[in-house]
Amino acid sequence: MSDAPANAAFTDRLRVVLISPRNPLNIGAAARAMSNFGFADLRVVNPYDVAFREAKSAVRAHYILERAQVHASVSEAIAGCSLVIGTTAVGHRDLHAPLYRLEAGAQLLREHLASAEAALLFGSEKFGLSNEDLSYCRWLLRIPARAEHGSMNLGQAVAISLYELIRDEARIQDRFPQPAAATAEDLERITGMMHEILDRSGYINERTSKSTELKLRRLVLRLGIPQVDAETWLGILRQVLWKLKQE
């Protein structure tokens, strides 16, 4: 049971471009998130060499990292793409391109990926995308994090962006079927047995015995015992009753 889209092309058409990443752990985390959600085309522009080597040589280095292409410039990394999108934290800079929240931008990007290639650019951990990087972008994507917080972790930003791309709105209704409830007869047997146990335990006052029975029935009903558990509860009560009868 895989959740990867049936038509692999959708995910194959996206290029994830990391620009000047500095931290090997972040490069690895981005590759791992790509694999999680079924994306494979990772490009790295002008990485800090030591970091990239370190990421690739990590024990659990990923096949996505192994075949990641390294480019000297952004224009090289995006060649062949008909849509280039930048990611940005809070829009405090004077942005010259439309800015979409992730929910909306991912939908636009998915529509594009249905038939053509696109590149999604992530800036360095420290500085984000430069004005030059941004000048290649038709529009920008913003993950709706709190403005007060500042930047996001690079690996997390990649993971959340890709998750939103493969997120399936239709699955919201996809709730687990509620387990069947125990039948009225089972509930009545449970109520009856509890009544007997409580009677033997001295909980029940002879005068209010009838009202206690109603109270017990309502208590048991509110438990919402699943059918699958009814026998187990009956067994438990039977055992307690047996023990009480011994004394």
Chain positions contacting its own copies, by CB under 8 A: 1-4, 25, 29, 32-33, 35-38, 90, 98-101, 103-104, 107-108, 139, 143-149, 152-153, 155-156, 159-160, 163-164, 166-169, 171-176, 178-179
Looking at the Cβ atoms of 179 and 235, the one nearer to its own copies is 179
CB of 204 to its own copies, least distance (A): 30
Looking at the Cβ atoms of 74 and 89, the one nearer to its own copies is 89
Query: Beta-carbon neighbour count of residue 88 at 10 Å?
Result: 23
- Long-range (24+ apart) CB contacts under 8 A made by 106-113 are 106/141, 106/161, 106/164, 106/165, 106/167, 108/139, 109/14, 109/83, 109/85, 109/141, 109/165, 110/10, 110/165, 112/82, 112/83, 113/10, 113/11, 113/13, 113/14, 113/165
At 101, is the secondary structure helix, strand, or coil?
strand
CB of 89 to its own copies, least distance (A): 10
CB of 207 to its own copies, least distance (A): 36
Of 122, 137, 167, 149, the residue nearest 27 (C-alpha): 122
CB of 111 to its own copies, least distance (A): 12
Looking at the Cβ atoms of 124 and 191, the one nearer to its own copies is 124
Looking at the Cβ atoms of 87 and 191, the one nearer to its own copies is 87
CB of 44 to its own copies, least distance (A): 19
At 82, is the secondary structure helix, strand, or coil?
coil
Looking at the Cβ atoms of 48 and 100, the one nearer to its own copies is 100
Answer for the pair 186, 194: CB distance below 8 angstroms, yes or no.
Answer: no
